[in-house]
Structure 1
């Protein structure tokens, strides 16, 4: 199957910055109270429903994956970037990390009690995001949970230098209402929405949507 140019660009960019990205963001959650609160709420809902496997989709260097595991979840990570997966495996050898694409996950139907896409839908153009949500709905069991994080807006940010490297990467800011609509079309029901003010060095508000399959 031919890959879209944005998929290739995303992989190349994160392969380039993997080590520096991991070092810079390793402890970021420690200073983000509301981010941790949304992850904790997700974990509590999954555990209250009996637990099960949870996928961190677009896991990068594994910092959210290990946080989910620390909340008592059976968490593993999937990422498009082989270099990110290598960093994650080295950093957290006790957890499972695999290379894969969110648009075509190598998972059985209804395999997951929940999934997290933590700022990982942002590099997929809006016109193809419905493909991601349909795939999330396929792998999350009925009654299971999905947590999304993304930047709020309706524009695209062209990243040409980040984490100390030159790169070619676009990031799409999202409307929470539009994302809710896409989730509804895919078979999810919005449960909780949080939009918080930007914290340095963020430029725009940050959104978190918790939805149930």
Structure 2
């Protein structure tokens, strides 16, 4: 991709550099995470109940979660900043669609999607930029569409930067992240917090959100793509 902001380019380059190792380490990670699988299953059931329609995993990495969502019965494709990650995803799952792209500037028409999964993919965005991501998620979701967020939870602290093994990331208070999504036109459906397992450092947060009736009111507040 050309013309990326410097923060996007830094994140893409960092993940390009570790893509092969990342894919090897995390390909089967969901097998040991029953609560995470339950949240993903609830997302899939919610999307299916609203009718068939396309779903995007934004920040899909090497594609293992996209494939899991496909196995849950969704019409899903993946988008990621890292060209190397997308190459690995296409190689591992040739039956699925994967594209290089940015979550805050998607090449999709308004209301095109019925579901969006952002699974630990806004964690690297500087906090001031997160509202822009949520505005874009709302733009591409049809009214009533479902958004699932996975993130590192700040455990009573404000937004906190930490030394993620790939590049700088941020832990968020669940209420703060839910509030920003609400300002972008989402309503909370449910949340799940789980404590860190052995080998994990931080509590994990998950938010299930529903898109409101339109994006006009969001744009009227000055939000831009």
Deviation at 1:4, TM superposition (A): 3.1
Whole-angstrom CA distance in 1 between matches of 2:22 and 2:88:
10
Task: Indicate the residue corresponding to 1:6 in structure 2.
Answer: 7
Map Cα deviations across residues 101-155 of structure 1 (whole Å, 9 max, x no partner).
0010011100001000000000001111000000000001000000000001131
> SS at the partner of 1:149?
strand
Structure 1 counterpart of 2:169: 171
Between the aligned partners of 1:174 and 1:113, the Cα distance in structure 2 is 26
Quote the residue 1:142 is aligned against: 143
Tell me how far apart the structure 2 counterparts of residues 200 and 70 of structure 1 sit (CA, whole Å): 27
1:182 lines up with 2:211 in the alignment: no
Matches of 1:94 and 1:118, distance apart in 2 = 21
Residue 221 of structure 2: aligned partner: none
Q: CA RMSD in A?
A: 1.1
Q: What SS does the aligned partner of 1:156 have?
A: strand
Distance apart, 1:88 and its partner CA: 0.2
Residue 18 (1) aligns with residue 19 (2): yes
Instruction: Name the structure 2 match of 1:132.
Output: 133
In structure 1, the residue corresponding to 2:191 is in which secondary structure?
Answer: strand
Gaps of 5+ in 1: none
Match in the other structure for 1:88: 89
TM-score with structure 1 setting the length: 0.94
Match of 1:199 in 2: 197
Counterparts of 1:107 and 1:117, CA distance in 2: 16
Question: Deviation at 1:51?
Answer: 1.9
| Aligned residue in 1 for 2:121 | 120
State how far apart, in whole Å, the 2-side matches of 1:3 and 1:126 are: 18
* TM-score, reference length from structure 2: 0.89
Q: How many equivalent pairs are there?
A: 206
Q: In the TM superposition, what is the alpha-carbon distance from 1:37 to its structure 2 partner?
A: 0.2
Gaps of at least 5 residues in structure 2 are 212-225
Question: d(CA) in 1 for partners of 2:90 and 2:98?
Answer: 6
Report the equivalent of 2:43: 42
**Separation in 2 of the partners of 1:122 and 1:37?**
21
**What's the CA shift for 1:2?**
5.1
Partner of 1:155 in structure 2?
A: 160
- Distance between the aligned counterparts of 1:118 and 1:204, measured in 2? 15
Tell me what 2:75 maps to: 74
Q: Distance in 1 between matches of 2:71 and 2:3?
A: 38
Question: What's the secondary structure of 2:89's corresponding residue?
Answer: helix
Looking at structure 2, the residues matched to 55 and 79 of structure 1 have their Cα atoms a distance apart, in angstroms, of: 11
**Deviation at 1:3?**
3.5
